[in-house]
Copies of this chain bind each other. A is one copy, B any other.
Amino acid sequence: MSRHKIKFLPHNKEITVMHGENLIRAAMEAGVHINASCGGEGVCGKCRVIIENGSVEGGITEKLSKKDIEKGYRQACMTSVQSDLVVRIPVESEVDISVLNLQKTPRRKAQIWEMNLEELKDKGLFMPPVEKKYLELPEPTSQDNLPDVTRLISFLKAKHGEHRLVVQLPVIRKISDILRKDGFRVTATLARPVHSGRKTHIINIQPGDTTDRNYAIAVDIGTTTVYSQLMDLITGDVPASYGDYNGQISYGEDVISRIVFADKPDGLQKLHEVVIANINRLIKKMVKRSGIDPDEISTISLAGNTTMTQLMLKVNPKYIRLSPYVPTSTLFAPIRATYLGLSLGDHVTALVYPAISSYVGGDIVAGVMGSGMYLSEEITLFIDIGTNAEIVIGNKDWLACAACSAGPAFEGGGLKFGMRAAKGAIEDFSMDPITLEPMNLTIGNVRPKGICGSGLIIIAATLFEMGVIDNRGKFNRDLDTPRIRETDGIFEYVLAWKHENQIDRDITLTEPDLDNLIRAKGAIYSGCMTLLEEVGLGMGDIDRIFLAGGFAVMWIWKKR
C-alpha cells in the first residue's frame, strides 16, 4: 500500500501515513490539535479543516455549507487521505502550543513506539513453534511399499534433514486419504520442541501446498480481561484480535477471592469452564472475523498469572494463598488443546507459559520472552499493567521481578465512565490550551461511550501538562470553561456532551477518577522503586521501558 505525506498549516508539521488513513488520526499522530468532541462520527461538526492541496475522500457533511465545501472545508474525522496533502487548520479551532508559555509542569519527552514483527525478526525473537513444509513424496509401488507414515518420515529425514519425528494419531487418521488427494503432494505441519534436541511432532497434514497459510493464537488471561490475537505466522499480521472481561469476575473480582471460590464444591470446575468458554468465544469471533479456515490454526499459546494459569488448567490454586505460598506447578508440558476443552482442531497443541512463583506468573514470562530483554545488554524495565502489575528489571545477565496490586483503573475499572478498550472507548486525546476544548479519538471512530485505560492516561497527562489539574489530580478552580464544573460537590471535566455521545449523559473525567489513577500509578511506581532499590539502581540507570498489558499490547519507551 502506498504512503502519503501530509503537511499541516499554519505550523508546518509533517507526517507520512498509509493511503486511506483517517485525517483526524493523522493530525493526532502529528501532534496537531483539532477540536473534536464526538470521537470521529461527524456529529459535533467541530473538526473543520481546509484541504489546500491534494485529494481526499469523504468529509462532506450537512454541517458544512456549499460555500464551505467549495473553499475546501472538510470534517477531518470523516475524511480519508488519498494522496499527499496540504491541510490548513482554521484559526478558530487551532492554537500552536509552542507560541504559548502557560505551562509550569514538565512536558512529555522520550520516544515511544509499538513493537512490530520486523523488529522481532531482526532481534531473533520470531520463533514460531510450528512450521509448514511442502513435500512431493514418491508414490508407493509394489517395490516401494512403505507404510504411508514411514514414507513421510523417511522423506523428511532424507530430504529435509529432520530427525526425532513423531506422528500424532489425528494425523495418522487422515494421512492415507490426504496423500492420495493430490498425487502424494502434501504440506506437513511440524511442531518444534520447546527444548532443542527433543522430538518434533508432525501435527497436521494437508493436500497440496498450503505453506502460505499458517496461523497461531495467543491468549493473555488476565484477572479482569482475557485478550486474544490471531496471528499470521507467515506475514506477522494480526488478522483479528478480541478482548473480553474474564467471565470469572462474577465469582470474585481479584485473585484471592477466585482462589477462595475455587476451593468451594465444584468451584474449580466452574472457574475452569468459564474461562475456557471465554477463550472459545474469542477464538470463534477471531475465526469469523478473519475468515480463515480453522484447520490452518496450528498452535495456541496461553499466558496468565499463576492463579489464572492454574484455574485455566483446572489445577486448584488454594496453596498459593496459604503459607508458605507455594503454587502447585510453574511448568506445564505441552498439551492437546482439545483436552483442555478448547474449540480448536485435534492437532493443535496448547503451550502454556511457565510461571516463576505464586505471584509472578506466565504472563510476565511471556513478556520477558516477547520483549527479548533477556537477550539485550540494555538495562530494561518491563511493566505488565493490569489489575495486578508485574515488573521485571534486568538484561541478558540478570533479571529481578516484583508484583504489585494496581487495581482495575488501567482497564477502565473504577472510573465513572470507564470501559474496556472496545469500540467507542476514548483512546486518544488532545486539548486546545486556550479554549480547553477536547480532541477525542475513539476506538472504531464512533461517538464515545466511555474512557479506556490508555485514554485515561493520555487525558490525565494532557490535563496535567496544560495546568488544568495539579499533581494531586485536583482541577484548577480558576479556569473559565463550561467543560470544567462541579456536580454534587465533585469537580469534573466534560469530555463529550450527551448529544455528542452514545450514552445520553455527559461523559466526564472526575477527581475521584483521577484519585484512582494516581493510586494505581502510585502502586506501580512504588513497585518499580522498590525493585530498583533492591537491585541498587535508580530511574536514571534504565535504558528503556517496555509496557505491556491489555491496554498497551507492547510499547517501548526509550531515552532520547
7 contacts between A and B (CB under 8 A): A142-B324, A145-B325, A148-B319, A166-B333, A173-B314, A176-B315, A176-B316
Indicate if the CB atoms of A333 and B167 lie closer than 8 Å.
yes
A150 at the interface (CB under 8 A from B): yes
- Enumerate chain B residues within 8 angstroms of A144, measured Cβ to Cβ: 324
A313 at the interface (CB under 8 A from B): yes
Give CA–CA (A141, B324) in the complex, Å.
Answer: 6
- Enumerate chain B residues within 8 angstroms of A326, measured Cβ to Cβ: 140, 145-148, 151
- Enumerate chain B residues within 8 angstroms of A210, measured Cβ to Cβ: none
Give CA–CA (A177, B329) in the complex, Å.
Answer: 13
Indicate if the CB atoms of B169 and A313 lie closer than 8 Å.
yes
Q: Which residue of the partner chain, among B167, B198, B333, contacts A329 with CB atoms under 8 Å?
A: B167
| Nearest neighbor of A149 in chain B, beta-carbon distance | B329
Give CA–CA (A149, B310) in the complex, Å.
Answer: 13
Q: How far is the CB of A501 from chain B (nearest CB, A)?
A: 47
Contacts A145-B326, A324-B145; A318 near B169 (Cβ below 8 A) = no
Residues of A within 8 A of B (CB): 140-142, 144-151, 166-169, 172-173, 175-177, 198-199, 313-316, 318-319, 323-333, 335-336, 339, 355, 357
Give CA–CA (A319, B166) in the complex, Å.
Answer: 22
| Apart from A172-B313, A177-B316: 5 A-B pairs, beta carbons within 8 A | A142-B323, A145-B325, A147-B355, A149-B331, A176-B315
Q: Which residue of the partner chain, among B141, B149, B166, B168, contacts A328 with CB atoms under 8 Å?
A: B149
Indicate if the CB atoms of B142 and A329 lie closer than 8 Å.
no
Indicate if the CB atoms of A332 and B148 lie closer than 8 Å.
no
Give CA–CA (A339, B142) in the complex, Å.
Answer: 35
Indicate if the CB atoms of B315 and A172 lie closer than 8 Å.
yes
Give CA–CA (A333, B176) in the complex, Å.
Answer: 17
Q: How far is the CB of A390 from chain B (nearest CB, A)?
A: 17
Indicate if the CB atoms of B324 and A176 lie closer than 8 Å.
no
Indicate if the CB atoms of A172 and B141 lie closer than 8 Å.
no
Give CA–CA (A147, B173) in the complex, Å.
Answer: 38
| Nearest neighbor of A333 in chain B, beta-carbon distance | B166
* 10 A-B pairs with the lowest CB-CB distances in the bound complex, closest first: A149-B329, A145-B324, A142-B324, A176-B328, A147-B327, A147-B330, A172-B329, A166-B333, A148-B328, A145-B326
Q: Which residue of the partner chain, among B169, B172, B318, B323, contacts A339 with CB atoms under 8 Å?
A: B169
Give CA–CA (A150, B339) in the complex, Å.
Answer: 23
Contacts A149-B329, A150-B330, A326-B140; A176 near B318 (Cβ below 8 A) = yes
Most buried by B among A141, A148, A323: A148
- Enumerate chain B residues within 8 angstroms of A330, measured Cβ to Cβ: 147, 149-150
| Nearest neighbor of A150 in chain B, beta-carbon distance | B330
Give CA–CA (A141, B322) in the complex, Å.
Answer: 11
- Enumerate chain B residues within 8 angstroms of A318, measured Cβ to Cβ: 176
Indicate if the CB atoms of A329 and B140 lie closer than 8 Å.
no
- Enumerate chain B residues within 8 angstroms of A167, measured Cβ to Cβ: 329, 331, 333
- Enumerate chain B residues within 8 angstroms of A177, measured Cβ to Cβ: 316
Contacts A142-B323, A176-B316, A177-B316; A169 near B333 (Cβ below 8 A) = yes
- Enumerate chain B residues within 8 angstroms of A176, measured Cβ to Cβ: 315-316, 318-319, 328
Give CA–CA (A180, B41) in the complex, Å.
Answer: 61
Give CA–CA (A325, B313) in the complex, Å.
Answer: 43
- Enumerate chain B residues within 8 angstroms of A166, measured Cβ to Cβ: 333
Most buried by B among A145, A169, A198, A339: A169
Give CA–CA (A176, B328) in the complex, Å.
Answer: 6
Q: How far is the CB of A125 from chain B (nearest CB, A)?
A: 26
Give CA–CA (A177, B150) in the complex, Å.
Answer: 44
Indicate if the CB atoms of B147 and A328 lie closer than 8 Å.
yes
Indicate if the CB atoms of A333 and B145 lie closer than 8 Å.
no
- Enumerate chain B residues within 8 angstroms of A316, measured Cβ to Cβ: 173, 176-177
